[in-house]
Amino acid sequence: MKILITGTSGRIGSAIASFLKNKEEVIGLDIKPGPCTTHIIDVRDKEKVFSCVKGMDAVIHCAGLLSPHVGVVSDKEFWDIVVKGTENLLEACLKYGVKRFVYTSTTSIYGNAMVPTKKAVWVTEDLLPQPRDIYDETKAAAEKLCQEASKKGLSCISIRMSRCFPERDDLMAIYRLYRGVDEKDVAVIVRVLVA
């Protein structure tokens, strides 16, 4: 299987690429070099994205901005990278008949819905996202693009994963108890989804 992974110089993209590269043909795309990055390309560059997607069996989209970029990077840049970049990849997948598209989204899109009032908030299929910032808004918009592409025949899956930033061991242990995820676990899940 030939798989294009975006964001392969980042934490999640590199974990997925490292996990898959021994069993699959992996093409890694990022704006900066990394051990798993084979192409230095910005997802906003439609022509280059289309060139990379041609001939792929699956695309795993991890490239984007993170919540720490809120207030540091302009809202326009968030929309351009997260939403327009996703749109470019989806259009290319539809054009070239890619079988599967996996988008790494975030539980952060639940935003204000996660603020407890009088009882604990459980994340189930009934909990509706209530984005609270540009990060959440653009991730939700990219998910919507995936839903629209699936109506056109592309098998799309959005994974709403929890935070996985590198942090002190004591904080990491706490986050793993109730909302964090290890990048290796994400890689295993994504492998199952692209099979």
Q: How far apart are CA 102 and CA 189, in angstroms?
A: 11
> For helices 183-194 and 11-20, what crossing angle results, to 10°?
50
Q: Residue type for 130, please?
A: Q
DSSP reduced 3-state for 40: strand
172: CB partners within 8 A, 6+ apart: 180
Q: Please state the domain extents for the chain.
A: 2-194
Candidate CATH numbers 1.10.287.70, 1.10.220.110, 1.10.579.10, 3.40.50.720; the one for domain 2-194:
3.40.50.720
| pLDDT, tens only, 18-76 | 999 989 999 999 999 999 999 999 999 999 999 999 999 999 999 998 878 888 999 99
Helix, strand counts (H, E) of the chain: 7, 6
| pLDDT, tens only, 90-130 | 999 999 999 999 999 988 888 888 777 777 777 778 888 88
112: CB partners within 8 A, 6+ apart: 130, 131, 132
Banded pLDDT at 163 (limits 50, 70, 90): low
| pLDDT, tens only, 121-135 | 777 788 888 889 999
| pLDDT, tens only, 130-156 | 889 999 999 999 999 999 999 999 999
According to DSSP, the residues that pair with 102 across neighbouring strands are 60, 157
pTM above 0.85, yes or no: yes
